[in-house]
Chains A and B, each alone.
Chain A
Amino acid sequence: MLEEAWRPQGRDDLIFRKTGDEWLLYDPASDDIHVLNLTAALVWSFCTGEQDVDEIAAEVAKAFDTEGTEADIQEIIDEFQAAGLFFDE
């Protein structure tokens, strides 16, 4: 049986705000502030637990009207995960 693809979901206690040309993601648990560029901010906005990584990559590619971004999107999501910004699987 195929395992269902992971659907990353951002923790709902994080503060996600735009400032200048960048976005801040504040983690009150660790007091860390993550600075996101436009691509990372867009990826984060899709991390709602409703789409898997491939689907998020497709959404981002569509938004930027480009292709071949899967590896970049995976890297961004890996960084979010390493920072503990998602709900546990």
Chain B
Amino acid sequence: MSSGDSATIRSTRVDFSCGNAHLAAALPSERAAAWLNTLLPEHRTSATLEPTEMQPHSAVDFSIEQTSEGWFVLDHGLLPAVRGPIGEGQAWGVLERALADRLALGLVSSLEPAVLVHAGGVAADGGAVLIAGVSGSGKSSLVTAFASTSFSVLGDDAVVLTTDGRVHPFHRPFKLHEGARRQLGLARPASEAVGAGADPWLYQPEELGSKWSDPAPLRDVIFARREPGTDARLTEELPAVGTRLLLDLGLGPVDRTHALSRIIDGTQGARFWALRFDRCDLAREVVAGQLGLEV
């Protein structure tokens, strides 16, 4: 791995505020802060939800403070319309869907040596394996298949890659659609009890028999594509091709010149693979066998 500048994301503070009477009623500020902290436990997070008379589409401000450099307001966005009273579980769902990626994007945009990658990730044997792909490519299912063995998890849809070649977990519940849930033989998640588990179902790693990983050095990047009826097949890709694919799948920073440089730095020494698969269990066996991973 290259020896780029090391990331210092532990000293970051995230402030979140929005004005929406229905959200505020369903999810008081202290609960919102607690929820945000489950997403980003390495950061000190606070939240303010003001019960105002704003329009249903309410503005959201993100602020990020880096201790050495003061405050930054990074983003102004809109929440989906919340037009009537909602339950706490629904409020979580609204926030999760609307803010998680934006929050992470804001974070990595503020941190010079990081890039948010549109990939799931698992860790074992001291190394991280990223599973990248477009939406619907089977990332979450495949990560979940690994999570049910001895692997810890870094994320199902997004992870943070720093230029020192380390992958940082993105603490967001796993999303699995009903078909994947059935294929993997999973029970309905506990989150259903609070109403946040509508399809796609939201799972915490512990519900999948796994746990969140610590940051881990990147060793392999797999570009997954589900092709019904095919046997699982893993073929090596050129780093140049893989770099381009990761850039195209990238979530941030928006400036692609910076994103490319960070991806190149962060993936130095990693191997790139293309995976065609149908069944997750077979794909897991093929990947583990070819990459020399113990499942």
Interface residues of A (CB under 8 A from B): 15, 17-24, 26, 28, 31, 33, 35
Segment among B163-171, B174-182, B253-261, B282-290 that sits at the interface with chain A: B253-261
- Minimum CB–CB distance for B239 against chain A, Å: 3
Contact, CB under 8 Å: A17 / B261: yes
Contact, CB under 8 Å: B243 / A19: yes
Contact, CB under 8 Å: B257 / A24: no
Which residues of A are found within 8 Å of B257, using beta-carbon distances? 15, 26, 28
B222-254 interface with A by 8 A CB criterion: 238-241, 243-244, 247
Which residues of B are found within 8 Å of A28, using beta-carbon distances? 256-257
Q: Report whether over half of chain B's contact residues are helix, strand or loop; otherwise say mixed.
A: helix
Interface size class of B (residues with CB under 8 A): 10 to 19
Q: Is B58 an interface residue (CB 8 A)?
A: no
In the docked arrangement, what's the CA distance between A28 and B244, Å? 13
Contact, CB under 8 Å: B260 / A24: yes
- Minimum CB–CB distance for A29 against chain B, Å: 10
Candidates A22, A26, A35; contact of B260 at CB < 8 Å: A26
Instruction: Name the residue among A15, A17, A20, A22 with the largest chain B CB count within 10 angstroms.
Output: A20
The 12 listed contacts between A and B (C-beta, < 8 Å) are A15-B257, A17-B260, A17-B261, A19-B239, A19-B240, A19-B243, A20-B238, A20-B239, A20-B240, A22-B240, A28-B256, A35-B240
Which residues of A are found within 8 Å of B267, using beta-carbon distances? 19
- Minimum CB–CB distance for B243 against chain A, Å: 5
Q: Report whether over half of chain A's contact residues are helix, strand or loop; otherwise say mixed.
A: strand
Contact, CB under 8 Å: A24 / B256: no
- Minimum CB–CB distance for B1 against chain A, Å: 13
Given A24-B243, A31-B256, the answer on whether A19 and B268 have CB atoms closer than 8 Å is: yes
Contact, CB under 8 Å: B261 / A22: no
In the docked arrangement, what's the CA distance between A82 and B240, Å? 21
Given A15-B261, A17-B261, A33-B244, the answer on whether A22 and B239 have CB atoms closer than 8 Å is: yes
Q: Is B128 an interface residue (CB 8 A)?
A: no
In the docked arrangement, what's the CA distance between A19 and B241, Å? 10
Which residues of B are found within 8 Å of A33, using beta-carbon distances? 240, 243-244, 247, 260
Which residues of A are found within 8 Å of B256, using beta-carbon distances? 26, 28, 31
- Minimum CB–CB distance for B262 against chain A, Å: 11
Closest to A20 in B: B239
Q: Is B115 an interface residue (CB 8 A)?
A: no
Which residues of B are found within 8 Å of A18, using beta-carbon distances? 264
In the docked arrangement, what's the CA distance between A35 and B247, Å? 14
In the docked arrangement, what's the CA distance between A3 and B247, Å? 43
